[in-house]
Amino acid sequence: MAGVALLLLHATVYFTVMAALLKARRRYGIGLFVCALGVMHFLETYLAAVFFIELPFGLLSPGSTVLFSGKLMMFLLLYIREDAEVVRQPIYGLFIGNLLLVVLALILRMHTSVAHLAGGAPDLGFIDQIGVLMVWGTLLLFVDCIALILLYENLSRLFARNVVAVAFVSASLVLTFDQLAFFPVLRWTSGVPFSALVGGLVAKLGAAAFYSLLIGVYLRFVEQGEDRRSRRGVWDVFQALTYRNRYEDLLKRSLIDEVTGVRNRGAFEQTCREWLDRPAPDGRPVTVAMADIDHFKAINDALGHVAGDAVLRSVGGALERFVRNGDLVFRYGGEEFVLLVRDLDHAGAVTLAERLRASVSEEVRAADGAPVTVSVGVATSTSGDLRGLLHTADQRLYEAKRLGRNRVVGEAQSA
């Protein structure tokens, strides 16, 4: 039991320090985390080659059980909190560094006048042994990370995105493969007995469970929430996932209005196209409401465009706060906003629009303290013709302005 306790202590210290460095990336950059991984890599390989402890289920090395398993799980945590581009950087760096170690060791062999000091002669054979294990281990790490990310993505659906369960199952499968692939080379270079195969496998499964729990604690109490990924192919998964994330982020930002933070006109046009692609109307009521800020030009002229932008942001924020979950707010252009509402009959939609109008009037003020109001036109139908509804809502908006502004005018259409 003392040996198991020391392994758990070893793993806890390792995870705590590495997690602290990961958390500090927002302030100091990812370099601290990456450098620590690189420094530990040599110790990890050295221990995996020569340092073993004996437990009832067999021999195991803290280098493989604690450090390698922990490093793999830290890469998973890094992927969850960042993206694939960040994950691949330290892996590529480790692999290139290990190849450089082997090349430099070969060059060292060319020296013919090596001094034999009292402290002992240099053991280049040991460096060769460690170099082989480091290169092979890093190559496996690359494969392991790809497999771990793919398994994590696909199993997330099966386990309802339970991070601890998904991380444990994914890591258990990958570490089992890693143990079976690393042991033959380890036996060839170091002559370790077969009992280390079984003992190391059991220990790695235990490490997968322990590190998964620690990841769950980290995501729950240190960095809440987890990232969002979907299935990808194996071919250069890091690059594929990276560019997918960049594309989705760019697409998302391209559909957001920079001034107000709500969806822009392009997002509304995309929504219209998606509705046109539907097989047929589903008979559920849909409402398009168009809201226009009253006397907005006067605000701009009197207070300036910076004050006008502040009013736009405040109105957009008020509309987003007071719509229902699932309702969409778009800035259609200038001082006009469009709202898309589902599953409310016309009377309910008009009531919602009236509530939004009153909320803007109560909450939003211009820079000089004057209240800001909106006029709203509402159109409801079951046909799903968003462009037709927008045209009708626009007509009702102008009717609201004609009647004195700061009011709601609505019209229901037949299907």
Identity of the amino acid at 190? S
Return the closest-CA partner of residue 344 out of 380, 377, 386.
Answer: 380
Helix residue spans in 159-289 (DSSP H):
163-190, 195-221, 237-254, 265-276
pLDDT score for 284 = 81
Let me know if 230 is exposed, middle or buried by CB neighbors in 10 A (0-12, 13-18, 19+). Answer: exposed
Q: What whole-number distance in Å separates Cα of residue 352 and Cα of residue 67? A: 58
Cβ contact 257:263 at 8 Å: yes
**Dist CA 338 CA 287 (whole Å):** 10
CA atoms within 13 A on the CB side of 226: 22
pLDDT less than 50: residues of the chain = 226-235, 247, 279-280, 415
| 112: DSSP letter | S
Q: Which residue in this structure is represented by tokens 């290990």?
A: 98
For residue 37, the model assigns a pLDDT of 86
pLDDT at position 281 = 56
Give the residue from 269, 163, 180, 304 showing the smallest Cα distance to 222: 163
List of residues 6+ apart from 49 with CB closer than 8 A: 63, 129, 130, 133, 186, 189, 190
Sign of CA dihedral 237, 243, 247, 253: positive
At 402, which helix (H) or strand (E)? helix 386-402
Q: What pLDDT does 129 receive?
A: 78
First-to-last C-alpha distance (Å) of the chain: 74
Compute the distance between CA of residue 46 and CA of residue 131 in angstroms, rounded to an integer.
10
Output the six-digit token pair for 349: 């939609």
- What does the alpha-carbon distance between residue 17 and residue 31 come to, in Å, rounded to a whole number? 14
CB 170 within 8 A of CB 144: no
| 301/150 Cα distance (integer angstroms) | 56
Whether 302 and 368 have beta carbons less than 8 Å apart is answered as: yes
In contact, 183 and 196? CB cutoff 8 Å:
yes
**Residue 289 forms beta bridges with which residues?**
339, 378
Work out whether the CA dihedral 214, 216, 222, 227 comes out positive or negative. Answer: positive
Is the pTM higher than 0.85? no
Report which residue type is found at 13: V
Beta bridge partners of 55: 58
Instruction: Give the count of beta carbons closer than 10 Å to the beta carbon of residue 315.
Output: 27
What three-state secondary structure class fits 347? Answer: helix
**% of the chain beyond a pLDDT of 90:** 45
User: Which domains are seen in the chain, by residue range?
Assistant: 2-109+123-240 (no CATH), 255-412 (3.30.70.270)
CB neighbours of 165 closer than 8 A, spacing ≥ 6?
A: 159, 212
